[in-house]
Amino acid sequence: MTGKRTLFVTRPSLPPLADVMPMIEKIWASRILTNSGPYHAEFINGLKSYLGIEHISLVTNATVGLMLSVRQLGLTGEVITTPFSFVATGHALLWGGVRPVFVDINPKTLNIDASKIEAAITPRTTGIMAVHCYGRTCDVEAIEDIASRHKLRVIYDAAHAFGVQHKGQSVLKYGNLSVLSFHATKVFNTLEGGAIICPDKETKEQIDRLVNYGIVDEQTIETIGFNAKMSELTAALGIVQLRHIDNYIEQRRLVDARYRELLANATGIRFVHPSGMAPSNYYSFPILVGPEHGRTRDQLYQALRDNDIYARRYFFPLISDLPMYKRLPTEPVRELQHATEVADRILCLPMYADLSAAEQERIAAVIRGL
Ligand SMILES: *Cc1c(COP(=O)(O)O)cnc(C)c1O
């Protein structure tokens, strides 16, 4: 028997180093390190064809991508968003000087409940920032409809939604802008990185300027842009990762299927995504720990830790419960009943391409209390 590996919620997929080395050597030889070099262009083309989208800007990470999106769309006042997400979703709004207004989630999809958005709209509302949580698509039609009737702009935080389709096309085509994360913990990773998906060429060019200090040409600087440029090294890794992504996702699919077998009928454990409803990139394997389980979510979380299994409580606490959001001056207390309940019961199990069957059995045994 080999020693037991500590299991984290994720373990980044990486290609063979030998596949990347020739590209690194080229970068070293050419001295083209950043500022839209040849690998940057090649990575964009690869993403366009893999994702089936036309206009894409690369950025250093999704958080900055969201911040730049808020600026690009000129959002001010209030933006309606979900409390059940990674903190970057809210932070991007606060950095943009916008007040997040939190709306409850749909307890089935864990995405923002589109039927509750309209009640939260005020004369100050300028946009909606929704998240395709764990890669499950938002109710994009309903959100689109509300946005067009109230003249609101829509940003999708698509950090979890790499490669996810909706009605036969990329879900990244919805909304005014969508933002991908290529962080190490995501399905597709470039260590750090991200992308902004734009509806047209003109928007992409404006985003590209925001990514590069607002520079138009040597003498013209149009806006207060940021520095969010992706380096050639990162882009080269992205190109190689694209050759392997289908394989990574297929391995995740098998991990997902094994969990469903191993945990079928486990007392008080419910799968967030019923069979056949898992997002097609298998980003995560979230479960809900119900009262019948006998242990609270936190007790189960601790029992797993005691066995060197680091499941994560994504997303707990809710963004709306963090100090910088709780103290927001005037927002009336909103009912976040489902979000609060889910945040207390959610647990994301280790999910990654090379999680072995034996390791999954080890995890399932602790959950079943064996
Ligand atoms: C990971 C994540 C982000 C931030 O992505 P970075 O690339 O790490 O900045 C934003 N939103 C959600 C929902 C995420 O999971």
Tell me, yes or no, whether 180 and 250 share the same domain: no
Q: Is 180 in the pocket of ligand 1 (CB under 6 A)?
A: no
Helix axes 201-211, 62-72, angle to 10 degrees: 120
Q: Is 196 in the pocket of ligand 1 (CB under 6 A)?
A: no
**pLDDT computed for residue 93 by the predictor:** 98
Tell me, yes or no, whether 287 and 330 share the same domain: yes
- Max alpha carbon distance in the chain (Å)? 69
Q: Which atom of ligand 1 is nearest to the CA of 65?
A: 9
Specify the CATH number for the domain of residue 302.
3.90.1150.10
pTM value surpassing 0.95: yes
Question: Is residue 6 domain-resident?
Answer: no
Distance 88 CA to ligand 1 centre (A): 6
Of 209, 241, 273, the position where a domain reaches its end is: 241
Tell me, yes or no, whether 203 and 252 share the same domain: no
Distances (CA, A) of 293 to 58, 69, 272, 287: 44, 42, 15, 12
Q: How many separate domains does the chain show?
A: 2
User: Rounded distance, CA 312 to CA 162, Å?
Assistant: 21
Tell me, yes or no, whether 180 and 55 share the same domain: yes
Of 194, 215, 241, the position where a domain reaches its end is: 241
Are 228 and 257 in contact by the 8 Å Cβ rule? The answer is: no
Distance 63 CA to ligand 1 centre (A): 6
Are 120 and 146 in contact by the 8 Å Cβ rule? The answer is: no
Range of the domain at 263: 245-368
Specify the CATH number for the domain of residue 89.
3.40.640.10
Question: Is residue 155 domain-resident?
Answer: yes
Q: State which of 181, 185, 190 you would mutate to test the pocket of ligand 1, scoring each by most atoms of that ligand within 8 A of its C-beta.
A: 181
Do the strands 194-198 and 55-59 form a parallel or antiparallel pair, or are they unpaired? Answer: antiparallel
Q: Which atom of ligand 1 is nearest to the CA of 61?
A: 7
Tell me, yes or no, whether 231 and 284 share the same domain: no
Tell me, yes or no, whether 213 and 303 share the same domain: no
Mean pLDDT of successive 10-residue stretches along the chain, which has 370 residues: 82 97 98 97 98 98 98 97 97 97 96 96 97 98 98 98 96 98 98 98 98 97 96 98 98 98 97 95 98 97 98 96 81 78 98 98 95
**pLDDT computed for residue 332 by the predictor:** 52
Tell me, yes or no, whether 224 and 273 share the same domain: no
Question: Is residue 360 domain-resident?
Answer: yes
The strands making up 99-102's β-sheet, listed across from edge to edge, are 55-59, 194-198, 177-181, 153-157, 125-131, 78-81, 99-102
**pLDDT computed for residue 1 by the predictor:** 46
Q: State which of 9, 58, 63 you would mutate to test the pocket of ligand 1, scoring each by most atoms of that ligand within 8 A of its C-beta.
A: 63
User: Rounded distance, CA 178 to CA 157, Å?
Assistant: 6
Q: Which atom of ligand 1 is nearest to the CA of 133?
A: 13
**pLDDT computed for residue 329 by the predictor:** 59
